Structure 1
C-alpha cells in the first residue's frame, strides 16, 4: 500500500488519480501508523515551505517520515514535497526541513526573460539513470515553483534549464524527489510514477 501523506497542502486527489492509473494501490492518510507501515510514501506539496513544515509538525508526522526513510521505505516528494525532503529552505527566512537529502532551497533569480514563478513545460536532461529517470531524456514535464533545490551534483538525477540549471529530479537511497508535477505531466509523468512503482516492488521483494 502506498500512502499519500495528507497535510492539507498537497495536490493529493490528482496524485491519487495518477497512482490509480498506473496500478498502485494507495490511500490518502495522515495516520502515523499507516505511514510507518506503508510500502511506499508520496509527499505532495503546494504552497509555502514554512506552512507545510508547520502542518507536518502539528500532525506529528516529521519524525514518522524520518523513521520511514531510515528503515528504507521508498519516498517520493513532489514539487514542494521534494523541497521538504531537504535540510531546509530560505523562503521567508530559514525553515528546517526533513533532512533526508542534503541541500537548501533558494529563490529563483529575478530575470525579466524568465518570470518567477516558473510555470510551464520544460525539457529534462538526465544526469543519472534510475528507475524513475529511465527514458526521460528530452521529455517535457510541467513545473510550477519559485524556489529551487541547491544541492550537490551527486544527488541530481535530472535537471532542466530555465534562468539557471534547475535540479528537476533528485534522489538519495530510496528517497526521490521531482520538482515538477508528474501527475500533471502527461505520459512522461506517468512513466515516472511507474518507475516509482518498480522501486516499491523491488524493496518489498528484497525485504520479504
Structure 2
C-alpha cells in the first residue's frame, strides 16, 4: 500500500486514479499509523510552499516523514512535494522546508513566461531504474512558478530547459522528487509510476 499524503494541497484523486490504473494500491491519508505501515509514501502538492509546511506541521506529519525517510522507506515528492524536500524556499519570503535534500527553491527566471505550464521535454542526466522503457527527451507536463535553484549535482537524474536548467527528477537514496506531474504526463508519466512500483517490490 502506498500512502498518498492528503494534506489539502492539490488534486490527489487523479494521482490515485493513475496508480490504480497501474494496479498499485494506494490510500489518501494523514494518519501517522497508516503512513508508518505503508510500503512507500507519496507527498504530492500544488500551491504555496509555506502554507504546505504549516499544514504538515499542524497535522504532526513532519517528524513522521523524517522518521520514515531515515528508516529507508521509498518517498516520492511530486511538484510542490518535491520542493518541500529542500532546506529553503524563497516563495514570498524565506521559508524552511523539510531539509531532506540540500538546496534551495526560487522563482523561475523572468526571462521566460511564468508559470511554466504545459509540455516540455526532459533530458536524462544519468542512468536510473526510473527510466526503464522511457526514451531520452520524453515530453511531460509541468505546472509551476518556482523550481529547485541550488542542489547537489549528484542527485540530478533529469532536467528540463526553461529559463535555464531546471531539475525535473532528483534522487538521493530512498528520496525521489519529480517536478512535473506524472499523472498528467501521458504514457511517459504512467511508465514512471510503473517503474516506481517495480522499485518498491
Query: Is TM-score (shorter-chain normalized) higher than 0.5?
Result: yes
Contact 1:88 1:97 in 2 (8 A): yes
**Cα separation, 2, equivalents of 1:7 and 1:17:** 17
Question: Distance between the aligned counterparts of 1:66 and 1:136, measured in 2?
Answer: 33
TM-superposed deviation, 1:136: 4.1
2:142 aligned residue: 143
- Poorly superposed stretches of 4+, deviation over 3 Å: none
Q: Counterparts of 1:53-202 in structure 2 under 5 Å?
A: 53-111=53-111, 114-134=112-132, 135-149=134-148, 150-201=150-201
* Alpha-carbon distance in structure 2 between the residues aligned to 1:96 and 1:133: 31
User: The residue matched to 2:130 in structure 1 has which SS?
Assistant: coil
1:92 deviates by 1.2
Shift of 1:195: 1.1
What displacement does 1:89 show?
Answer: 0.7
Distance 2:117 2:195 in 1: 25
Q: CA deviation at 1:71?
A: 0.3
Look up the match of 1:37: 37
1:186 shift after superposition: 0.4
Q: What secondary structure sits across from 2:131 in the alignment?
A: coil
The CA deviation at 1:133 is: 2.6
Question: C-alpha distance in 1, partners of 2:56/2:92?
Answer: 18
Deviations 1:28-77 (A, max 9, x none): 00001111221000000010000000100000000000101000110110
Contact 1:131–1:199 (Cα < 8 Å) also in 2? yes
Q: What is the aligned length? A: 199
Distance 1:65 1:168 in 2: 22
Q: CA RMSD in A?
A: 0.9
Does the residue aligned with 1:92 lie in a helix, a strand or coil? coil
1:97-118: CA deviations, max 9, x gaps?
A: 111111110111112xx20010
Q: Does the aligned pair in 2 maintain the 1:45–1:80 contact within 8 Å?
A: yes
**Partner residue, 1:12:** 12
Unaligned runs of 5+ in 1: 202-208
| Equivalent in the alignment of 1:205 | none
Runs of 5+ unmatched residues, structure 2:
none
Kept in 2, the 8 Å contact 1:133–1:158? The answer is no
